[in-house]
Every structure is written in C-alpha cells, then in structure tokens.
Amino acid sequence: MSLSQEANPLLEDWHTPYGLPPFERIHPEHFTPAFDAAMLERQREIDAIATRTEAPSFGNTVAALDACGQLLGRIRMLFDNLSLSETSPALQAVEREMAPRIAAHESAVYQNEALFMRLHALYERRASLGLTAEQVRLLERFHLDFERAGATLGAAEKVRFAAIVEELAALSTQFAQNVLADEASFALTLATPDERAGLPSFVLDAALQAGRERGMPEGTYVITLSPSLSGPFLTFSERRDLREQVWRARGERGAHPGEHDNRPVAARIVALRQEQAALLGYATYADYKLADRMAPSVAAVDELLQRAWKPAVEMARHDRERLSALAVELGQPTPIAAWDWRYLAEKVRQKSFAIDDAQIKPYFSLDAMQAAMFDCASRLFGVRFKECHGIALYHPDARVWEVMDSEGKLIGVFIGDNFARQTKRSGAWMSILRSQSGRDGGTLPIVLNNNNFAKGSPTLLSFDDIRTLFHEFGHGLHGLMSNVQYERLAGTNVLADFVELPSQLFENWAQEREVLLRHARHVETGEAIPAELLERLDAASRFDQAFTTVQYVGPALIDMALHARTDTAPVDIAQFQADEAAKLGVPDDIGMRHYLPHFQHLFAGDDYAAGYYVYMWAEVLEADGYAAFTEAGDPFDRGTAERLLTWIYSAGNSIDPATAFRTFRGREPAVEPMLEKRGLLAAPARG
C-alpha cells in the first residue's frame, strides 16, 4: 500500500492533549514513509548549518544542531516505544528494515566534514567565546559525539565505519527479536494440583492471567519466562523437576540452534565492535566505551567489581552450607543446584525471619506502591501527580498522569505501563516520547515507565517488584525534573555510569519505614503493615545478598572481559562464557543473572556494552548519596533534597557528573557504603 504524505499522521502537527501521538490513527505502514521524509528533512537542516557562509557561531552551529531533526526525533521516540512495549510482526518488519537505514543516516550526519569543521573551529576557541557553562558543555559534547562517530577518519575509513554501524544496527535488532521469540515460545502449563504444589495464591493468579493472555482455555495455569512469574515459581514451586525446566529455559534463551540462535549474532557484534574501536585508535572496544564514561579505565572497573565479588563468593560459601543442610533435612539431593537456591533460601528466610512473601504481599498492592512513589517525589521535590482519564494510548494498560510543580504549573506528563504481555520486551525501563528543553519557551517532557509485573486482581508486588517500580520512577523523575536549555544535555542524556544514580537512589525510599507505614496497607482490610513485620522484613532484606551480588557481578566481569579482548580471531560465545565463568569461579548453584546469548544490555544496543558494571558504579554514588539523608536524620531532609534536585535530578548532563556529585555531597564518593549495604564489609574472614 502506498500512502500520500498528507494522509500520514506521523508527519502532521499533533493537536492532541499534551501533544501526545495520535495513537489510534497510527499504523505500522505509516512508519517507513514517515522515516524517509523525516530523514530527508533532517539532512536538509544539517546541510543548511554546514554550508552557511557566515563564520561559525554558537547560535548558528551548536544551538542549531541541538534544535534540528525534531520531526525525526519525534517519530523515532514513538517507534522505539511501540517496538519495546507493544510490538507486532508488522512493526518488527519495519524495525528490521529501518534500523540499518537510520544508522546510515546518523553516520552521514556525524561524519559531515563541513559541519565538523565548524564545530571544531568553535571547540578550539571555546574558552574565549563568552559562553555559559552549559553552552561550553554542549559544544564539548557534540565535538565528542562527532569524534566517536568517525568524523576525524579518512574518506575510506569513514565508509567502512559507517558500514559497521549499519550492520551493528541490524544485528542488534535481530538479537532483541530473537530473545523475544524464545520468550514468547515458552509456556509451562501446570495441569495438575501436584504441578502447582507450593505456589502461593498470587503466583497462581498471575499464572491464570498468563494463560488468558496466551489464549489458553479459561482456568489454565501457565508459567512464562517473565521474571515476575518465573522468579516466584523458582522460589516457591515444590516440584524440583519443573523448577529445573524453568531455570534452564530462562538461561538458554537465545542459545537454541536454528533461526533464533543469538550466539553467532553476538560473535559478529563483538568482531565489528573490535574493528570499530581499532579504526578510532583504541586498543579495545572497552577502552573506546570508557573514554565516554566516569570510570577512568578497565582496570578501575575490574577493581571495583572484584571488591564486591571476592567477599560475595566467600559469603555465598557460608549460605551454601546452610542451604545444603536444609536440603538434607528435606530429603532433597545435594550438592544443591541453581534451581534449588531460591527455593531453599526462601525456606531459610521464612524460618529465620518468620517471613513469607505470600503473607507480606497483600500489603503491597501496585496501586498503593504507586501512590507511595508519587508521595515520595512530592515530599522531596514538591511535585504533584494527577491522573488523566479518557486519553487513548497504545494499550489499555498504559495510564497517564499530569505532573505539576509546587505552584501547580504543568512540568511534564508521566505514562505508567506496568504489566507483562507477549508483545512487550522483558525487563523494566524508562523511556521518553518527548524531551525537556528550554527551546521555544520550554518543551514539556513526556516520560514512560514500563514494568513487567504479572497482572492480578488486584496486582500484588514482591519486594523486588517494588524496588523495580521505584527504580524506573527514579529514572522517570530524572527525565521529568530536568531543567536545562539544550536537549542533548537533558534528563537521562548523561554518562552511562551516572545514569543509574537517580534510579538506584530512589529505591531507598521504597524501604523507608515511615513510607511503608503510611502506604503499605492490607489490600482487603486497609490495615497498615505492622511495625514488627516491617522490622523482620528489613532484616530479611539483607539476607541472601551474596546470591544477588554474585549473580550480578559475574556477568558484569564477563561483559568487561569480552569487550576488552585484544584477540581479533572470531569469538565462540558459548566457549568464551564457559571459560570466563570457570576462571572467575562462578558458583554453578548460583549462576548468572544474564548469559551472553540473551544479554540484551550488551547486544540489543550498545549503551550498556562494556557497561553492565554501571549499576555498581552508580551504586557507589547512590549508597554514599543516600547516606547524606541518613546523616541529616530525615529521609526527606529539605536541604539535602534541594541539593539533590539541583545537582542530580534536574541538572541532566549540563555539568560534569563527578563535579555534580561532589557539589551535592560536599566531598568525593566513598565505596564503603555500597559494600556495607550489600553486607560485604563484615564478610566472614577468609580461609
């Protein structure tokens, strides 16, 4: 079908509430022609800046660059959001077609020689141009963006670099689609009561809901690979054989021979990245990535990760003894396996802290916890959230809120899309449909949070889910509270090892006693959670930290090793993973949170490549940052909250992140609060 541009809603002005996309009118076939038109428009804008006859100035070159490409930006943000949250075979086809073409367009922009010459001339004189600090930062940022995209390469190298970027874009798309295909094809049906043994009612409800979504006959219980369903299944199911099935299916995503096999895809991505780094003069791809991060070197990253890894593995040894003793008591086989750990740990947790998730969950409904996160944002930053009804979005589960500042002025729009479905990528994330900026009197940010909670009636969350909810909302606030002039520096457009600071920091309020006493109310009786139960919860939350740390740090170290390879022979992904895990001593009965063939952080894009460590890097900042509230004696201390807003949540990338943190905290960050929080400072003596 061919469409005239007049009929394409993607290319029209949107006279909709808040300028939201007119979702109902947009169909997959609109995207390709709209992308074509928008890329052409941006190319014309870029050419106009590059070929100006006036001497380069900040306004006619740098600010102009920041402001151009708005039509393409709007379409891309919409397309990316739909591809993540509500995809379809038709959208996936557009994605496969457009990803390499958009990458080629980006290369053409960032390798534009005349434009780079103008930028470079300004960059050389940046100290004497009379610019504000934010303007200098924007100029430096663009200059680096161009360098990193190959602007300084010779003509032949530029062509090769662009071809690599294009092929990588296609491979990343394929990688993510392969994972989704493996996830969508797995469904464990629990036909008999025996197969459902041990599962609390919230898991059963969610399994029924998953059955409905998969179009199974009413009353069918289905376990999918969605973490909020498969995680509790591994924790509670009495059926060791089924736990093993689910654990293996999770771990083997992307590693099945056939058309969705990600092992050769990942290997090709690694090879192209090595070539990309070499073209730009870096010894390894990790060096190339770290040149644009806070962390100074691969060695510095490894050192931080090892500071957590060693005591965590040691602590896990003690936990293992305890779990093994319990397994013997229960008449289960030892040595224990990876599909036993969560199950046995839950039994120990219940016994030691008299806690069981099934008893706790009714206090944590999604609605109550959502109200809690809005309330925390209000108390910290003075913002208010008001739900808007009657606005049609891309899926009925997505809800919209207006965000107002303390004077009632609209400062943003927030969309929450919380439930798992087959058309949504797994995991949780924040994204945007429009960025904040000071352009044209100010643009209103539209921020989305996606989660993959198992829908229930009502939906009840585990403590992990609540942390995820607050985490993504922390990113959301980073986008909503942004208060900078230039879009390139707005919101979460910060360095990759700083971006998890606002999100991880916000998780702390989810665990504040005062917040929970106020908001964690029993879903049937409305009664507040008993203080004594909270204390036990708090103690239990520090239990099994070794497991969590080992599961995370293992893949973070392997990511670094993979991207710091100097060997240019093709890598065998499965073999590399096995060798590195053996070298590190990844305990078999704990395993890893991600295995390379489905490690989307690394391969579904490049933001987190050589960058899975960023969570721990930012956690150092986060734990030390939250200690400022603890030291002030109030989780909502006004002075600390004001500094936090000014230097962290609203500053975007307008200042150097190390300076921003130091100014907020009054000193350099310390690593100890992170280790302490994970229970790794008081690790038992080795030997």
Query: CA–CA separation, 81 vs 112, rounded Å?
Result: 29
Query: CA–CA separation, 55 vs 522, rounded Å?
Result: 67
Query: CA–CA separation, 573 vs 570, rounded Å?
Result: 9
DSSP string over 615-682: HHHHHHHHHHHHHHHHHHT-TT-HHHHHHHIIIIITTTTSS-HHHHHHHHHSS---SHHHHHHTT-TT
The residue range among 41-49, 270-278, 495-503, 561-569 that interacts with Zn ion, by the rule CB under 5 A, is: 495-503
Query: Site residues for Zn ion, window 281-310 (CB under 5 A)?
Result: none
Query: CA–CA separation, 427 vs 284, rounded Å?
Result: 29
Nearest distance from C-beta of residue 449 to Zn ion, angstroms: 11
Query: CA–CA separation, 201 vs 215, rounded Å?
Result: 21
Classified as helix, coil or strand, 592 is coil
Nearest distance from C-beta of residue 478 to Zn ion, angstroms: 10
Which residues are paired to 447 by β-bridges? 414, 432
What order do you get walking across the sheet with 410-419 strand by strand? 384-388, 399-404, 410-419, 446-453, 429-434
Q: Which is nearer to Zn ion, 430 or 460 (CB)?
A: 430
Nearest distance from C-beta of residue 615 to Zn ion, angstroms: 7
DSSP state of 163: H
* CA 119 distance to own-chain centroid: 32
Nearest distance from C-beta of residue 543 to Zn ion, angstroms: 24
Query: Site residues for Zn ion, window 29-68 (CB under 5 A)?
Result: none
Nearest distance from C-beta of residue 626 to Zn ion, angstroms: 16
Q: Which is nearer to Zn ion, 147 or 500 (CB)?
A: 500
Q: Which is nearer to Zn ion, 86 or 622 (CB)?
A: 622
Nearest distance from C-beta of residue 351 to Zn ion, angstroms: 33
The residue range among 1-9, 73-81, 360-368, 493-501 that interacts with Zn ion, by the rule CB under 5 A, is: 493-501
The residue range among 336-344, 484-492, 503-511, 549-557 that interacts with Zn ion, by the rule CB under 5 A, is: 503-511
Q: Which is nearer to Zn ion, 487 or 500 (CB)?
A: 500
Query: CA–CA separation, 453 vs 482, rounded Å?
Result: 27
Which residues are paired to 400 by β-bridges? 388, 415
Q: Does 450 bind Zn ion (CB under 5 A)?
A: no
Q: Which is nearer to Zn ion, 72 or 490 (CB)?
A: 490
Q: Which is nearer to Zn ion, 503 or 654 (CB)?
A: 503
Nearest distance from C-beta of residue 503 to Zn ion, angstroms: 4
**Binding residue (CB under 5 A) for Zn ion from 276, 418, 503, 654:** 503
Nearest distance from C-beta of residue 471 to Zn ion, angstroms: 6
Which are the contacts of 469, defined by CB distance < 8 A and separation ≥ 6?
366, 369, 370, 373, 418, 449, 451, 461, 510
The answer to whether 230 touches 250, Cβ cutoff 8 Å, is: yes
**Kind plus residue range of the DSSP H or E element containing 212:** helix 201-213
Classified as helix, coil or strand, 451 is strand
451: nearest Cα among 172, 203, 227, 210: 227
What is the number of helices (H) and of strands (E) in the chain?
27, 7
Which are the contacts of 465, defined by CB distance < 8 A and separation ≥ 6?
228, 364, 451, 453
Is 631 noted as a catalytic residue in this protein?
Answer: no
Catalytic residue among 147, 472, 487, 507: 472
Query: CA–CA separation, 219 vs 204, rounded Å?
Result: 10
Query: CA–CA separation, 248 vs 250, rounded Å?
Result: 5
Task: Please provide residue 77's backbone torsions phi and psi, each rounded to the nearest 5 degrees.
Answer: -60, -45
Determine the residue with CB nearest Zn ion. Answer: 503
Q: Which is nearer to Zn ion, 500 or 559 (CB)?
A: 500
| Torsion angle of the four alpha carbons 618, 624, 627, 628, in this order, in degrees rounded to the nearest 10 | -100
Q: Which is nearer to Zn ion, 284 or 482 (CB)?
A: 482
* CA 319 distance to own-chain centroid: 29
Q: Which is nearer to Zn ion, 112 or 503 (CB)?
A: 503
- Output 40-43 pairs: Cβ under 8 A, ≥24 positions apart: 41/69, 41/71, 41/72, 42/68, 42/69, 42/71, 42/72, 42/105, 42/109, 43/105, 43/108, 43/109
> What one-letter code names the amino acid at 631?
E
Nearest distance from C-beta of residue 232 to Zn ion, angstroms: 22
The footprint of Zn ion on this chain (CB under 5 A) covers a number of residues equal to 2
The residue range among 131-139, 236-244, 497-505, 593-601 that interacts with Zn ion, by the rule CB under 5 A, is: 497-505
End-to-end Cα separation, the chain, in angstroms: 71
Nearest distance from C-beta of residue 599 to Zn ion, angstroms: 16
Nearest distance from C-beta of residue 428 to Zn ion, angstroms: 8
The residue range among 89-97, 357-365, 492-500, 506-514 that interacts with Zn ion, by the rule CB under 5 A, is: 492-500
Q: Does 431 bind Zn ion (CB under 5 A)?
A: no
Which are the contacts of 342, defined by CB distance < 8 A and separation ≥ 6?
231, 234, 235, 547
Q: From residue 637, give the alpha-carbon distance in Å to each of 34, 184, 384, 475, 643.
A: 48, 46, 18, 21, 10
Q: Which is nearer to Zn ion, 162 or 553 (CB)?
A: 553
Q: Which is nearer to Zn ion, 280 or 618 (CB)?
A: 618
Interface residues with Zn ion (CB under 5 A) are: 500, 503
* Residues assigned a catalytic role: 472
